[in-house]
Amino acid sequence: MGNPKIMSHLFRHQYGKMIAALTRIFGPSKLEIIEDAVQDTFIKAMVAWREGIPENPEGWLMTAAKNRAIDLFRKLSADEKRVLKIDSGTSAIALGEVFLESEIDDAQLRMIFMACHPSINPRDQIAFALKTISGFSSKEIASALLLKDETIKKRLVRARKSIASLDLEFKIPQGADLPPRLNRVLEVLYLIFNEGFHSGRKEILVRKELCGEALRFCQMLLNNPFTKTPDAYALFALMCFHSARLESKVNAQNEIVDLKNQDRSKWYFPLVAIGNEAMSNAVESGEFSTYHYEAAIAAEHLKAKSFEATDWEKILQYYKQLFEINPTVFNMLNIAIVKLQIGKLDKAFQNLEKIQPSDLEQRAYLYFGTKAEYYILKGDKKKAISSIEEALKLVKNDVEKAYLQRKKQRWENQEA
């Protein structure tokens, strides 16, 4: 059989393309048949490639998928064949052209918008997007979203049923329908990226594959003249800036390396340059979203030659502007953290007093971790250790727990 790693790579990168292309042909209501056809194609490939993988495996898979589509077309009853009427009107396209690279990109973009359709339960949208566009298994999605495999399977079934029963169109919205739909697409991509950048999984902190998929989806938006909006550019810039630091977040021992101690030589500045270019496009309109401010904050960290050289005052201003348009407890907490960095301890504490830890849900440990930093800076080691013990009770991620335990031990070993 062909190299398992190569097969896995091909499945991950070709699955979504094949699903999107076949959905363009058969229509969203046939998703279950389409997914079966793609699975069949990969099974066929595993058998056919026992003696070696062909020179152009992507082309082989697409050709096999196209042939499988024709087989399915012949098997469908006459009344079902109406879904194949893609050769009339403004969407006119020949069957063979569906498999051109440009048309596959267009089909994948349509799939993203369909996955984020308001008629689909918001809880089901991310799971459906990761399954149909990225080829993630239900187990992988369950692991990423901290849910049971059966829960994900139910969400996928529910999403397919919603699509079929509502006869959703496989298209990119136009006119007044586009902005609200695009906003939801950006929200879903933001959530996917964040799960990769700061995973909720117990044993791992960073999931690069989720970050990569979110970046790829966002790039698709920027390749389309109707969806390359300032907000999309800003989100892409934010993802680039954060991704540039991925290699330095965790060391070889799978230990967290905080921003202060990260090896800045590991930061990938070619990706920063791409983010800077996207940010230039993002600010042209002069109207700024949460993505703009978050990207600006991330950029400030990357500009600094060292942690001590960080322009914390500028970052504080960005967080205040962010809080004005998005007054969340997380942004309030971040304002407190920045104030600690610039020595405004009492003002930081005032911000902390406005926060109910339970409002941070699974991230409530961050509140107590910040409070511990406040007390250590105030010279109250006893309260600092007490606060970090509260954080340790709440943190779920093993890597973060070990980080907090090391910090607690370091404080305990310090001379009074």
pLDDT tens-digit map of 40-49: 888 888 888 8
How buried is 151 (Cβ within 10 angstroms: 0-12 exposed, 13-18 middle, 19+ buried)?
Answer: middle
Is it the case that residue 205 has pLDDT exceeding 60? no
CB 211 within 8 A of CB 243: yes
Is it the case that residue 100 has pLDDT exceeding 90? no
Type of residue at 175: G
Computed over every residue of the chain, the mean pLDDT equals 86
Token duo for residue 76: 């469908």
What does the pLDDT average to over 114-122? 89
pLDDT bucket at 95, cuts 50 / 70 / 90: low
Say how far apart CA 277 and CA 299 lie, in whole Å: 12
* Residue 1, CA atoms < 13 Å, CB-side half-sphere: 11
* 8-state DSSP, 250: B
Is it the case that residue 83 has pLDDT exceeding 80? no
CB 138 within 8 A of CB 97: no
- The closest alpha carbon to 11, from 95, 194, 107, 134, belongs to 134
Residue 146 or 239, more confident: 239
pLDDT bucket at 86, cuts 50 / 70 / 90: very low
Per-residue confidence (pLDDT) for residue 344, from 0 to 100: 97
- The closest alpha carbon to 235, from 208, 259, 214, 205, belongs to 214
Rg (the chain; Cα; Å): 24
Q: What is the pLDDT of residues 382-416, one digit of tens each?
A: 999 999 999 999 998 888 899 999 999 999 887 54
Most confident of 7-21, 138-152, 207-221: 207-221
Say how far apart CA 326 and CA 334 lie, in whole Å: 13
Per-residue confidence (pLDDT) for residue 134, from 0 to 100: 79
Q: What is the pLDDT of residues 56-79, one digit of tens each?
A: 888 888 888 778 777 776 776 544
